[in-house]
Structure formats: C-alpha cells, structure tokens
Structure 1
C-alpha cells in the first residue's frame, strides 16, 4: 500500500475526531472521504498532511513512517476549501509560490508554471489577481499551486464547497480527468454523496471519528456493511416491524428496516408486476424530481416512497395504490443484511 494508516486516534477535549481509524490506499487511486459534517473527515486529512498531530497511531507514506516529519517535508500538496490564494499575487505568482520557496531557477519556475496553466485551463489569465477570477478559476489556481512542487500525494478539503452548483458539476468532471492524466494519489473530503460517487475510485465513509466502510461507490451502495451506511448513502427511510410486510414475515422479527425508493414500486393494480406480493396503500404526496415523480404512500402506519416514470399516468394524493416492496435492508443489534421479497419470483435489479 502506498498510504497506510494504523489505529489513528485524535481527540479535542471530549470530542473524538479519529477513533482507531485504519486503512490502506494504493498508489494512483482517487479516494473520497465522505460523511456528515463533524464526522472527522478533515481531521484525518490534516493528520495525513502533518497539520495535526495524532494522539496515537501511525501514518506511513510509501513505506516511511511520517508522524514526526514536518508538513513541508512530506511531499504533499494541499488544497483548502477557501482556496487560500495570495490576494496581492497574480495567477502566475500564486502558482509559482511553492517553487520560489524551493529556490528553483527562474527558468524552471516559468516552465513548470506554464505547463500547469495549460493543464488547468488558465491560459490568458496569468496576470490577473484572485479578485478578478471566478470561483471555478480560483479553485483551478489553488489546484495548480498545490501541484507545482510535484507532490507525491494531493489532499483536497471540500474543494468545491464554495462554488455554485453548475460550475461545481463541471469542475468535478475536470478534476477526475486531470488527476487520471497526472496519475497522482489523491484524497478529497466531501459531504456530497453525488460528488463522491462521481469522482472517486473508492469511498471511505467516516462517521463520529470511525471508518464505517471502504470500497467502490457501487460496492458501498449495493452492500452497506452498517445501518449508518445504508441510511446515509442514497435516499432512504426507516421502518419498524418490517416482518409485518408481505414477503418479509420470516425475517428478523426484532429488526428494523431501511428502504430506498428504488426498492419500491407504487402504482395502480394493473401496473404492478406481482400484485399478490404487494401491499394496499394510499398516496400521501407527489413530488416532481425532473426525470421522474417521487410518490409517497402510506401502508397502514408505515410511509414509503418510490420513483414513477413521467411516461405513466400521473398519481395524486388520496389515490388508492398497490405498493410492492422488492427488498429491504434489515438490521438489529447483532446483524444486518439485504433481503429480497420472498413472494416475488424475479429479483429486482439495482438502479444506481
């Protein structure tokens, strides 16, 4: 492994930001640290960078223990959420800053900065100052500045948080393509699931200072290891007493269930493929989601939701419907698993 973290612990007073966290990252991978705000993601990133000192545990980069190595000697590029550009410096000088500190020759600095300006799409902006740039352009300058000293590892702390939604989406695609082109090992912090799924090779779910799960976006989505991951990834709702539902009567009678809209069909009687496995329900809400409707329905005391194609006849609040639950994520204090509706003969494919 290129990066190895072993039993990393960091506390701030009564708050545990990193609780015996261990993981390994292969060289060249693009990793997303995903989780709720305050879960410990940025603290882990800052310990890797040398900006925070762990209370215990070890950090290895390329086989070398770096706990006592100063941040400036770890060979790491860091991009802050706030960009942290020097306001009195031009784009060229901001990118050149780290090279100047390294006392590179003017010729080398010019060649490297010119290369990065081309790479990051900043040509023609070299003489502008940060206040003359858009948010997306400033982020590209911060990215180029972090890459200028040719680091071995790149760390990004919520790199798109301060950018509007349209530009953020464009920059995500640009970032992934650029990092693939360079081949640098990269870890970025985000609380945006869509961002993590779109950009990362692997995701690490961090919650309350603990690593809940590590894996590819598809693996984590399809096979959550903990109730937190099942509830955090994608849209979901929690149901009590799932054993009262058709097709799930024999499953963990003391369990609770997490259910996602794509696990459910809601429709009129003639539209449901296996009506004998469906529950009777009433539509409580209909919401337009752009490419589909999101339908909320009541089954007795339980509430579930599902997506409905715009091509189908619309439903409205108060309509009586059938609700077919294809699968549930069940959990209790001892175990958790995904189960299929036992009354259905054909499994429903995942939709991601």
Structure 2
C-alpha cells in the first residue's frame, strides 16, 4: 500500500499535538516513527488507523481519500504495545478472531491460522492461553492476529515496549525478517533509536508534532538536517561556542554558533601519542566506561566535557591522566543554519599515531 499524508493536524483541547505533517511511504517499506514521548508519533499512527479523528489534512491509501472510513474498512492490522490479546481465548482463537468476524469458512480460517502459526514460530502453542506464554510469544500472537485478515498496512505502537531487553533484541530481527517475507507496508512507533536504526528501511524523526527529518537510518545519522535530529540520534556533546575548539576558530564570525560533537568525531590518546599538530587539544580523563568491545572515555578539555571511544587494542588510559584530544569534525548550528565542518588544522601537519 502506498500512503500519502498531507497537512495533517490534530488538537487535544488547546494542545496542538500534530502540526501540519506531510509525508509519503512507498509500498512494502518499513518505516519507524522515532522521537521523544509526547512528540505526536502515536497520534499520527492512530489517525492513519482511523482510531483518532483528524482536525484537518488528508490521508490517502493508494490515492484514495480515507479520512471518513472507519478502521475496519481501511485494510489495516494494528499491534498494540500491551498485546491486547483475549485472555479467555487460545492462541488459535486469538489469531482467528478477525477471520471469524468476517465470517470466513471454518476450513479457510484453520488453513490461514496454521499458516501464520508456522510463520510466526508458534507451532505447538495453538491450544495455549495468553497466561501460559512468555512476553515474546504473546507479542508473536499479536502479530499473527494482525496479519490474519491479510491487511495492506501494518501499524505497530511501540510493539516491544513491554518485553525484556534480551527478547526485545531477538524480536527486532524476527520482525524485520517477517515483514520482508510478507511484503507488507509497515509503520512502527518507537522512542528507542537503536530499535529504529536496526529495524526500519526509513525513519521519520518526530518532535513537538512535526516531522524533523525523513530518510534512511544512515542518512539521518550521517547528515542530520536539524539540531534536534543531530542531538537525538546517537551520543553527542554540545559546545556552546564552537570557536573555542582548535581548528574551528573561523566560525567565530558566525555569532552564536554551537558545536555538536559525536564520539566518533573525536580521537583521544596518551599525551604524546600523536605527533604534535596544531589541531591537538590537551585534556584530562574524567571517567572510563567499559562497553564490552571498547572504552567510552569522558575527557575534559578546558571548560568542555567530551565523550569518545577507544579501542581495547590500544593501551588503556587512566582516570586523571593528561591526554591529547583531536576533534576531527563537528556538527555546527546557529539560528540561521546547520552544517558539518572538518577541523581546518588537522592536516597541517597530518597527525599520525606513533
């Protein structure tokens, strides 16, 4: 299903929850609506489903206006974060529910349910009840029930929120594979950026009722279009006056320019680990956090605190140690624009590892 949304608005009393939102989604794509709580993600999802009335705007499925259609006539499957399974029904009956409402012949219902039981890895659990299943299994039942009527669009409202971390990680991969096999257009809401990056074909970053940016996970991470996107995706530190950093002095002519610096933009080493370069700052290690495959290093450079990574293959730094710090690039922004800038001094001469 191809989806087109134009100038969507929604108020709850005096609160403007969704502000003139427009976007398109290609058939078969898996889209993540990512953003902080209260940003408008779920409101958008519920308006697409017909569970919430819109104040103004248009929603079109395959070019046809669906604003006035009730949920059951939109060809949508909906998965809620709390599963919303019928406690008194078995796995089989939960999955069959929508098919029975449509009065499908019993033989076809059985064939469709068993097909989905196989597809979702629930074979052998058909006669069990929700209280006899794990959280991950209950969520698989919810997916199967949503897919049973063969919807053209699958909507998921924070589908992994009620599941523990280990199972959540497994279900992300499972969901990605499932949707690719089924080939259904899907939209899921999340505030977990790792979840969105891992699962989605494209991400829409939603903040304060507006779409800040839409693109592939890589594009959004590599080329954020707004300061909010840059600060929300990935770990970062904001420097209020970018001109205070070596190699970025020229931005001083752009009044009020701030620098957002990601950990991978920074290199840190022992005091004499770099051949002297005009771009190298001196700092002190404040904290070290073991991350399994690397160290997360918090370093103080003058009045600024930066975070970066250091490989386990390199000699371990010590808390309080004086270190050399090289900021390779920064995401700069002021009231007028935003852009990524390389350190102007780092190649004069090129800093090299000893």
2:274 to 272, 275, 296: 272
1:113 aligns with 2:113: yes
1:296 to 295, 298, 321: 298
- State the match for 2:173 in structure 1: 173
8 Å contact from structure 2 (residues 30, 185) kept in 1: yes
- State the match for 2:184 in structure 1: 184
- 3-state SS of the aligned residue for 2:278? helix
In structure 1, distance between residues paired with 2:25 and 2:184: 12
Q: State the aligned residue count.
A: 347
The structural deviation recorded for 1:79 is 0.2
- The residue correspondences of 1:334-349 to structure 2 (distance < 5 A) are 334-345=336-347
In structure 2, distance between residues paired with 1:106 and 1:183: 26
The structural deviation recorded for 1:270 is 3.6
Structure 1 range deviating more: 248-257 or 199-208: 248-257
8 Å contact from structure 1 (residues 275, 322) kept in 2: no
1:95 aligns with 2:95: yes
8 Å contact from structure 2 (residues 271, 322) kept in 1: no
Deviations 1:72-121 (A, max 9, x none): 10000000000000000000000000000000000110010010000000
In structure 1, distance between residues paired with 2:122 and 2:3: 31
TM-score, structure 2 normalization: 0.96
The structural deviation recorded for 1:171 is 0.5
In structure 2, distance between residues paired with 1:104 and 1:64: 27
The structural deviation recorded for 1:14 is 2.4
- State the match for 1:104 in structure 2: 104
The structural deviation recorded for 1:275 is 3.3
The structural deviation recorded for 1:276 is 2.6
- State the match for 1:257 in structure 2: 259
Runs of 4+ displaced beyond 4 Å:
none
1:131 aligns with 2:131: yes
- The residue correspondences of 1:32-71 to structure 2 (distance < 5 A) are 32-71=32-71
- The residue correspondences of 1:196-235 to structure 2 (distance < 5 A) are 196-235=196-235
- 3-state SS of the aligned residue for 1:230? helix
Q: Relative to 1, partners in 2 of residues 1:175 and 1:273: Cα closer, same or farther, differing over 3 Å?
A: farther
- 3-state SS of the aligned residue for 1:138? helix
8 Å contact from structure 1 (residues 266, 272) kept in 2: no
8 Å contact from structure 1 (residues 272, 324) kept in 2: no
In structure 2, distance between residues paired with 1:114 and 1:17: 41
Deviations 1:107-144 (A, max 9, x none): 11001001000000000000000000000000000000
Deviations 1:23-71 (A, max 9, x none): 0000000000000011110000000000001100010011110000001
The structural deviation recorded for 1:244 is 1.6
8 Å contact from structure 2 (residues 272, 324) kept in 1: no
The structural deviation recorded for 1:253 is 4.3
The structural deviation recorded for 1:314 is 1.4
- 3-state SS of the aligned residue for 1:32? strand
8 Å contact from structure 1 (residues 269, 275) kept in 2: no
The structural deviation recorded for 1:226 is 0.2
- 3-state SS of the aligned residue for 1:94? helix
Superposed CA RMSD: 1.3
Q: Relative to 1, partners in 2 of residues 1:87 and 1:236: Cα closer, same or farther, differing over 3 Å?
A: same
Q: Unpaired segments of 5 or more residues in structure 1?
A: none
- 3-state SS of the aligned residue for 1:254? coil
The structural deviation recorded for 1:254 is 2.3
The structural deviation recorded for 1:274 is 6.4
- 3-state SS of the aligned residue for 1:315? coil
In structure 1, distance between residues paired with 2:283 and 2:277: 12
